[in-house]
Amino acid sequence: MPESIDIHKFLELRNKLPVLDTRSEGEYTHAHVAGAINLPLLNNQEREKVGTCYKQKGREEAVLLGFDLVGSKFGDYIRKAKEIAHSEIIVYCWRGGMRSNIMAWLLEKSGLKVYLLEGGYKTFRHWALNEFEQPFKLIVLGGKTGSGKTDVLHEMKKAGEQLIDLEGLAHHRGSAFGALGQPAQPTSEQFENNLALEFLKIDRKKTLWLENESSKIGGVKIPDGIYNQMRANTVVEIEVPLEKRIENIARVYAGFPKEKLAEATKRIEKKLGNKNMNDGISYLNENDFYNWIKILLDYYDKAYTFSKSQRAPGTVLSVSITSENHSEIAAAVISFAKQQVASP
């Protein structure tokens, strides 16, 4: 008989065993447990047919139709599952109902040891959203656009600090230009799922570093529970000279096609003003990245200053940076935080 497991056992076993998501392709694509493999009991079209049947003829007819649709595919399900699993496997559906139970029964009959997540994906989502309401010992790394915060954070990780790369998870660098060179963004729900599993790795007795962000990174929203903590906790702000920031931005973006950069510049016309937008695009066309970036920073720096002004007094601590070496900057930030930041 398949073994029913709670969310805590599931989170432990998912690192050791393959996980099957038996929901439809559409449900899976929208959001799933990271690492789970989709093996739909009912595909998109079949699920729609069963749903229509349920509404028109009732549960009994819908169940019979479901078995008619999937019965001929049992052999395929077993073969695919055994390509994934050697002897044990975890199965879930939307709420631990018929789809996962049928798949679990079938795979157990084929000789696999099957674990069934109680409450299915719905239980996982409840756990994930609850994670964001838990307090963490946060310090936020701040700094104006082009300060190299992401690079510094990764050097801090090498030095033993805990961090979560929000922009990496969101596949976006957090500005109008942030999608360039990045994979497609996940849905906000998928971002939340992935983020919750990152928080699961964190030692809550130790400081966690996050990069200062707006409430949205591209099209992905940071969960309110985390964003509220980011806004309430201390910011260590690195102060990097304008010329160095322009150099950093040029290094990241100057290699992209100018038409893509112009498109992104046009998207923030209302924020830049029509004249600045047109001047910026003219500079782009002349390969004058310096003056193009300078126009952009006039807007982004004002936005950063305003956001900073909305924080509680005394929660933003600035450290001047003289080195251009990210590992040296990381060491300076760590040392500064240990001396200046009270334990969260």
Catalytic residue positions, numbered: 93
Q: Please state, in angstroms and as integers, the Cα–Cα distance from residue 252 to each residue in 5, 152, 177, 181, 256, following that order.
A: 46, 15, 10, 10, 9
Tell me, letter by letter, the H, E, C secondary structure of 139-183: EEEECCCCCCHHHHHHHHHHCCCEECCHHHHHCCCCCCCCCCCCC
The beta strands (E) that lie in the chain are given as 3-5, 19-21, 37-38, 88-92, 113-117, 138-142, 162-163, 208-211, 216-217, 220-221, 235-239, 316-320
What the block records as the tokens of 112 is: 């696999």
CB 31 within 8 A of CB 187: yes
**In contact, 212 and 111? CB cutoff 8 Å:** no
Q: Helix (H) and strand (E) counts for the chain?
A: 17, 12
User: Which residue has tokens 């996940």?
Assistant: 186
The alpha carbon of 95 is separated from its chain's Cα centroid by a whole number of angstroms, namely 23
Could you give the CA distance from residue 255 to residue 250 in angstroms, rounded to a whole number? 8
Q: What are phi and psi of 290, to 5 degrees?
A: -55, -55
Task: Please name the amino acid found at residue 304.
Answer: Y
Do 334 and 159 form a contact (C-beta atoms < 8 A)? Answer: yes
Residue 111, helix vs strand vs coil: coil
**Chain centroid to CA 53:** 37
